[in-house]
Amino acid sequence: MRSRDGNSSITRAICSLILLNSFASLNANEFLISYRYIVKDATLYNETLRISDSMKKCVGKPQKALILTSFGDKDLKETISNNSQEFIDYMHKLGLNVEHKESTTNYQNRSTTILTLKTTCFKVDFNDNFARIAPLK
């Protein structure tokens, strides 16, 4: 049906975008991601990023998404490793739990800092050129 001002194609385009967006979110995969970063005496001691498929449906609404280039692969670990710095910066913006311990013995300082992102469910939608990653809250 055509509208009075003749812009039915624009209306159809907007409706199709809304439908595609809703179907894209239905086809998105869900992953559980946790991250831990340990610094001892101002030196990186350990960095761990764990990714696993969600065994059951996650509950929550997607938050602000991160878009990473994926080059057509459907492997989240590889996509994140190819864009590691962007993903780590994004994790820091999500909010990490920080533990810091410091001690001084015989004029020697010792410190340990642990940054942790608790296990969080992410919706991941793969496209030909990118992967859209959004945490659920």
Q: pTM for this one? A: 0.70
> pLDDT tens-digit profile of 83-124?
989 998 998 888 889 999 999 999 999 999 999 999 999 999
Residue 5 maps to a domain:
no
Decide if 63 contacts 81 (C-beta within 8 A).
Answer: no
More confident residue, 17 or 66: 66
**What is the chain's mean pLDDT, rounded?**
83
Residue 51 maps to a domain:
yes
Going by C-alpha positions, the residue among 89, 107, 81 that lies closest to residue 37 is 89
Report, as an integer, the average pLDDT of 45-52.
92
Report, as an integer, the average pLDDT of 61-83.
88
Q: 87 vs 4, 50, 66, 116, 127, CA distance in Å?
A: 48, 13, 8, 14, 17
Residue 24 maps to a domain:
no
Residue 100 maps to a domain:
yes
User: How many residues in total does the chain contain?
Assistant: 137
Spatial separation of the C-alpha atoms in residues 104 and 35, rounded to whole Å: 29
Query: Domain residues for 63?
Result: 29-135
Residue 88 maps to a domain:
yes
Residue 33 maps to a domain:
yes
Q: How many domains does the chain have?
A: 1
Strands (E), 56-127: 66-69, 97-105, 108-126
Residue 23 maps to a domain:
no
The whole-number pLDDT of residue 6 equals 55
The answer to whether residue 134 scores a pLDDT higher than 50 is yes
Q: Which tokens hold the place of 103?
A: 């001690």
